A and B are shown apart, each in its own frame.
Chain A
Amino acid sequence: MMKNIIKQALTDLFPSPGTVAEELGVETAEDEVAENGKKKKAKKKEDPPRVNGVLERDHAQYGYDIDVQLEPGELLAAVMIIDKAGFFIESITGVDWIKEKQLEVIYDFSRYDFDPCRVVVRTRTPRENPGIPTISKIFAGANWHERETHDFFGIKFEGHPHLVPLLLPEDADFHPLLKDFKP
């Protein structure tokens, strides 16, 4: 099954294959009732940051099969493995984690044949000077996706042939999806 093949190929990328991350428990804030009857918000238990590695996810619950988190430097190697295996690029997007001062870029890949396997590749970069290598030499469709992510988050994709605004006006210098954006 492609899922196992690609999981093995991606796990081999990481230096010590024994440290595959465990599934992190999900915590949500609960209101505690204090002694005098008034509701008091409990301190939110912060999740420890996720370590780099390959996770297998339940498709029915999450919608994708393999979830990889890696450093920007390992991105090109992972994407080349995925390209050789015959995946197509679905989309690239960003998420602004303002509390951790990081910007996350999420890559979605999927397959055309009847061996469904959806791979999600994540990578994080600091918010101050975000820079990620471009994958548009491997997947030509990444060109517009990266331009759009640059528009909305300000992430510089190093090596991109034409990183100008795609959806915003040509002279735009703001990035709307950052959490501290004011129009």
Chain B
Amino acid sequence: MSGPISIQPGETFTLNVGPQHPATHGVLRVKMEMDGEYIVQAETVLGYIHRMHELMGENRTYPQVLPNLSRLDYLGAMGYTHGHVLAVERAASIEVPERAEYIRVLMVELNRISSHLFWFGAFVMDLGGFTPLMYAIQDREHILDLMEAVTGSRLTYCYFRFGGLYNDVDDDFIGAVRAVIPRLRKSLKKYAALVTGNIIFRKRLEDIGPISAEMCRKYGATGPVARGSGIDFDVRKNEPYSMYPEFDFDVPVYHECDSLARYKVRMDEMEQSLRIIEQGLDKLPDGPIMPKKKPKLIKPPKGDYYQAVETARGSFGIRIVSDGSKNAYRFKLRSPTYSNMHLFDEACQGMMIMDALAMMGSLDLVIPEIDR
């Protein structure tokens, strides 16, 4: 990919990929200095959806903050609330029954598939193909129906409670999930035939947006962005939490470092999540979903506690600094997209703008998670 030959000062113009743009997946603004079609320099401007979740964590008690976490990353809300309840349970030493933990893993994996499906549709739409969006959202509706039957919401779930869940799943749900799995497998094959093998798609993405492993390390990129660059890092395997050690699944890693590799990582992850769901349904134990002894008022002892979980976009971390009262003293959210997006400023120098937008789509951005 040849870059600009020589730039005289004053020869560049500023292009605003503004807060209102079909490809920015939210309100993100990238100020680009352009030399014709090539980007000389890019600067990301954030803050257009800054709602300050961290201050809400300090002004409210621990249970009152629970619904907030879903609004951070609304496509993968189960993963975020999982991280939150695990962090508070670790801080306040609350036991969780086994059945509740298995159901949590099931829900998180179903949510991961629905998040990747939406990303898939939006990504191909960015590149110009509108049809896969319709198919992907239709498949996603099947999963959303399942979630709605149990939790009551389609998008921003508030299903987990400190210590377990608030609503148990019944045999109807298990039967419905078993019916959806072959349907999703068939859809994944259809996408592989329709999109992954398409010559135009491959030419748009192969060797576009290279991100080296060393760059990932300097910026702290995690998730499919790192796994597309050859880094074998998945919090579920490297720092196991919850019931993940009981499940047998692979972590897809590709070494080409380009946008196509990141795409392939996510498509393979959907298949692995289906495997986890099947195993979870077989292994689901009986039992209660809330612990017998649970503190009435959650007041973790002094200190700071950290919990990292693997969400659809990477490693989400939450740090709770507690001073013994019923509000957190400091409630820090480490969002994966924040670190992933930081790469973009350096990586897109010298690229053509169409390639930069393809790369931005492959990073899987959800802007409220960056701005928190």
Contact = CB atoms under 8 A, between A and B. Distances in A.
B18 interface: no
Interface residues of B, number: 44
Contacts of A75: none
B301 to A, nearest CB: 5
Interface string B221-252: 00000100001110001110000000000000
Interface hub of B46, B217, B232, B238 (most chain A Cβ within 10 A):
B217
B304 interface: yes
Contact of A95 (B46, B220, B321): B321
A63 to B, nearest CB: 4
A154 to B, nearest CB: 15
Interface in A95-148: 95-96, 106, 108, 110-114, 116, 118, 120, 139-141, 143-144
B84 to A, nearest CB: 13
A115 to B, nearest CB: 9
A127 to B, nearest CB: 15
Given A26-B302, A165-B47, A168-B50, A140 B90 contact: no
Interface stretch (A3-11, A34-42, A85-93): A85-93
A141 B220 contact: yes
A176 interface: yes
Contacts of A141: 218-220, 339, 342
Nearest to B93: A61
Interface hub of A27, A112, A118 (most chain B Cβ within 10 A):
A112
B217 A86 contact: yes
Interface of A: 26-29, 47, 60-64, 86, 88-91, 93, 95-96, 106, 108, 110-114, 116, 118, 120, 139-141, 143-144, 152, 165-169, 176-177
A93 B306 CA distance: 13
A167 B334 contact: no
Contacts of A47: 302
Given A63-B90, A93-B319, A139 B218 contact: yes
A29 B324 contact: yes
B135 interface: no
A98 to B, nearest CB: 10
8 contacts: A89-B218, A89-B220, A93-B332, A112-B233, A116-B239, A140-B346, A167-B372, A176-B52
Given A28-B301, A62-B305, A108-B334, A90 B233 contact: no
Contact of A167 (B217, B238, B324, B371): B371
Interface string B290-320: 0000000000011111111000000101010
A90 B334 contact: yes
Contacts of A111: 238
A96 to B, nearest CB: 8
B306 A62 contact: yes
A91 B305 CA distance: 14
A111 B217 CA distance: 9
Contacts of A63: 87, 90, 305-308
A111 B233 CA distance: 9
Contact of B303 (A26, A139, A165): A26
A142 B360 CA distance: 21
Given A95-B329, A167-B50, A88 B220 contact: yes
A137 B51 CA distance: 30
A166 B216 contact: no
B54 interface: yes
B218 to A, nearest CB: 5
A167 to B, nearest CB: 4
Contact of B218 (A26, A91, A118, A140): A140
A90 B346 contact: no
A112 B217 contact: yes
Given A89-B220, A143-B342, 5 more contacts: A60-B90, A62-B306, A108-B319, A141-B220, A167-B372
A48 to B, nearest CB: 13
B220 A177 contact: no
A62 B319 CA distance: 10
